Structure 1
Amino acid sequence: MGAFLALWRICALVPGRAHLPGLFNRLLMFVTVGCMLQRNTRGNFNQSGLLLMHVNSRYRGHTENRRAVVRGVAGVMLMSLFHSSAQAQMALASAINRTARFRALSQRIAKAYCQLYLNVQPALARDVLLSARHLVATGGEELARGLNTGPWPPDVAALLGGIQKHVDVLNSVLTMPPTRESVRAVALQVDKILITANTTTEAIEKLSKAGPARLINTVGRQRMLSQRLAKNYFLVAAKLEETSTRQQMNADVVEFQSTLSSLVKLPITTTNIRNELTLGEQQWIFFEAALRNKPDESGLKNIATASERLLEVMDRLTGLYEGALRDVLG
């Protein structure tokens, strides 16, 4: 019962909590009916067993064995429905995490590419670029296979296909050594991936119809914000920023800080989640301070390393929230 209460608390703490998620309704029904079946099996049937009265009245003349069989079949059916629903929700939660990761990876690729152009810790930049491109490739292959509960709906499949098309264009640009023109082209292309990946993540979240799925999306977005801030910092240093770049950076700082503060206040956490949140707060203090510095040689190096550390924490944190949802549903 504690697991269901935990799910209810999580649902109550995320945006859009005005509508009780359908999943919690089903879980509550399973608990209620399960308790009724259990009481009836012990011979303590009372007014709470109204749902079964109609069955008992129709088969009043039948043996106890017949009633036991009916109760057993009903129990198996309910557990089957719960298992199917829980499996689907866990698959969608994992898909949300993986799809949302494209948002961060797109910005991380542009950050590393611009970092190479500026010749800031080039060895680190090459490693980051290689790692990010590998994660994009493997993540695309995994999502293309669909859910373990079945294929994607046509609209989601089309969005995933759109991400891959944008990635193909990006890869063609990344084959060139970083120049002023190619850095600008990469920056424009990764934003197309970001927009499509965000739309896809939200579409999968709607399929879930469970409050905790939105929490995973929100936590996962922190990864992207950390990388977009670093990318834009490098673009400013390269004098390749757009007119809205600094305004976007200010908005991203506010959003990251606000979301982090909200996560810290959530009462539903594990020890590991609390530890990562504490570490995330510490890394954010350092990263935000580095963002305020001029993009000189020292400032660029600080952003290069701090953005990677913050990304690692936010990625682990997203995985921990996904795991917590799995524990509730599993």
Structure 2
Amino acid sequence: MKSITLLLLMFFASETLALTMGDAINVAGRQRMLSQRITQSFILTGIQPENVRYQKQLRKCVAEFQVNLDNLLKMREASPLMRDLIDVREQWNTFKPVATGPVSKKNAAKLNDISITLLTAAHRYVGKLEKLANSSNAELVNISGRQRMLSQRIAKNYLAYYWQIDDGEALQNLYSDLAEYELMLKYLKESDINTDDILRKILKTEGHLEYASKGFDGDMTLKGDRLIFVITGTTDIMLRNMDEITRMYAKLLDTQDIAIR
């Protein structure tokens, strides 16, 4: 009984733990990514309804977005930006019922459209958090965090094109995102605050980007479900790499804040 009580106390303590500014930019940045990953998972569920993995992924991402939003709303240091965060919440309240509703091509197209509005609101909030932090390191947290979103939007746009739920722009948007991803990865690689670990992760991500691009360009002999598996798998690795890089940049930002104090 005592052990259960202790676990409950630890759980509630972790839920109310204050976010640092580095944490906040990281978490708020994940919301951008989740808006695209949820949409991607929804489409994948429609393409392969027998694959329970995508259904679990969809539920997990929806739950994470909600938890992240609740934690950001508790952050006192970012209270001047509350109006912007409430806007994110309002867009989420429109997005969530569709994301958790019946899966169909019609609903996938609707969710894809709404995801753009949610992403825009989330991105606006992250940008204002970066300015509030007033640190050059905050920009790196923001940019690397955006790379996570791009990896998932790249995959989402490919799936929208594959399932024919887009308005004809998905493939064009995909290549635009690939170009931006490559450009910003180069920008991060040239940062003079990079540690050896960060640089190593960036170089690995460059390799995965090149591999994914071959699939989009038709250089792979794979087709159909197998190509979907390879592309989503590769962009997921890109996501994980950039998530670790973002955490490292966030830690550098928090270390700088402590040093200034």
TM-score (norm 2): 0.84
Conservation of the 8 A alpha-carbon contact between 1:170 and 1:186: yes
Is 2:164 the partner of 1:235?
no
Shift in CA distance, 121/288, structure 1 to aligned 2, threshold 3 Å: farther
User: 1:264–1:277: 8 Å Cα contact kept in structure 2?
Assistant: yes
Using the TM superposition, give the Cα deviation of residue 92 of structure 1 relative to its aligned residue in structure 2, in angstroms.
2.7
2:178 to 253, 256, 273: 253
Asked if 1:224 corresponds to 2:152, the answer is no
Equivalences, count? 238
Q: Match for residue 134 of structure 1?
A: 63
Q: Is it true that 1:211 corresponds to 2:136 in the alignment?
A: yes
The aligned amino acid for 1:152 is S
- Alpha carbons of structure 1 residues 270 and 138: separation in structure 2 relative to 1, 3 Å: same
CA RMSD of aligned residues (A): 2.0
Q: 1:319 aligned to 240, 247, 255, which one?
A: 247
Q: Which amino acid aligns with 1:262?
A: Y
Which amino acid in the other structure matches residue 122 of structure 1?
N
Task: Verify the 8 A CA contact 1:233 1:295 in the aligned structure 2.
Answer: no
Structure 2 counterpart of 1:198? 123
Which position in structure 2 is the counterpart of 1:14? none
Counterpart in the other structure of 1:301: 229
AA aligned opposite 2:43: C
Question: C-alpha deviations, 1:217-271, integer Å up to 9, x for none?
Answer: 1111101110001000000011111233222212111110011112222232223
Measure how far apart 1:311 and its partner are: 0.8
Contact 1:235-1:241 at 8 Å conserved across structures: yes
Contact 1:117 1:179 in 2 (8 A): yes
Between the aligned partners of 1:303 and 1:127, the Cα distance in structure 2 is 19
Q: Deviations over 1:261-295 (max 9, x none)?
A: 12222232223212211221222222222222386
1:318 and 1:282 map into 2 onto residues whose CA distance is 18
Answer yes or no: is 1:102 the counterpart of 2:27.
Answer: no
Once residues 148 and 78 of structure 2 are traced to their aligned partners in structure 1, the CA distance between those partners, rounded to angstroms, is 27
After the TM superposition, which of the residue ranges 280-289 and 230-239 deviates more from structure 2?
Answer: 280-289
Structure 2 Cα separation of the partners of residues 303 and 327 of structure 1: 36
Inter-partner Cα distance in structure 1 for 2:27 and 2:167: 29
Q: Which amino acid aligns with 2:186?
A: S
Q: Is the 8 A contact 1:105 1:224 kept in 2?
A: yes
- SS of the equivalent of 1:152 reads helix
- Separation (CA, whole Å) in 1 of partners of 2:189 and 2:170: 29
- The 8 Å contact of residues 154 and 177 in structure 2, kept in 1 or not, is answered as yes
